[in-house]
Homo-oligomer: A and B are copies of this chain.
Amino acid sequence: MISQTAEYALRAIVWLAGHPETSLGTPHIAAATHVPAGYMSKVLQALARSGLVVSQPGRRGGFQLTRPPSKISVLEVINSVDPIQRIHKCPLDLKSHGAKLCPLHRRLDEAMASVEDAFAGSTIEELISDPTRPTPLCESGVGLGQSLSGRAIGPQITRPGKGPGIRGNQE
């Protein structure tokens, strides 16, 4: 449905949204979101290029959101790293079809459009403020990015993983 890269980008943005007061680097964010550090580094670079996050240099530097979570849609995050591919013209390049899609490709594009609409109408704020559900990325009872012991999660729990590649496959 959405690519692994898009899912990882959402994890990063959700984690940063839960930590407005901090500015931590790639290793910390990668560990907290259970993403290989090399992969997360590329995801954060893409998010920075799109203007959703900024990177502060220096020893105490790190990443921060550029807007409040209520002003960032799920769709923006996905489209920043691996946009949902709409069908704008015949994938078979049939000249007589052009932009007037046949029922097969119209049906597929309608599904993509409905997903786009749903994600455009969901904000990051909604994902971190539902008291009836587990907190994203965290074991219950602890805040975003904290371990069960209450200590901030460090890079030591980074999982080994396959190499990155900014466009991932579907999960």
The tally of residues in A whose CB lies under 8 Å from a CB in B reads 53
Q: Is the CB of A91 within 8 A of B139?
A: no
**C-alpha gap A122/B126 in the complex (Å):** 31
A94 touches B169 (CB 8 A): no
B108 touches A1 (CB 8 A): yes
Central interface residue in A74, A93, A130, A134, by most chain B CB within 10 Å? A134
* A146: interface (CB < 8 Å): no
Known A-B contacts A1-B115, A96-B134, A139-B94; the reply to A104 vs B170 at CB < 8 A is: no
> Is the CB of A28 closer than 8 A to any CB of chain B?
no
Q: Which residue of B lies closest to A119 (CB)?
A: B111
What is the distance, in angstroms, from A75's C-beta to the closest C-beta of chain B? 10
Chain B residues with CB under 8 A of A110: 118
7 contacts between A and B (CB under 8 A): A1-B108, A11-B104, A91-B171, A92-B137, A102-B134, A103-B128, A107-B127
User: Quick one: given A94-B138, A139-B94, are A108 and B7 in contact (CB under 8 Å)?
Assistant: yes
Minimum Cβ distance to chain B for residue A11 (Å): 7
B1 touches A101 (CB 8 A): no
When distances are taken between beta carbons in the complex, the residues of chain B under 8 Å from A108 are 1-2, 7, 10
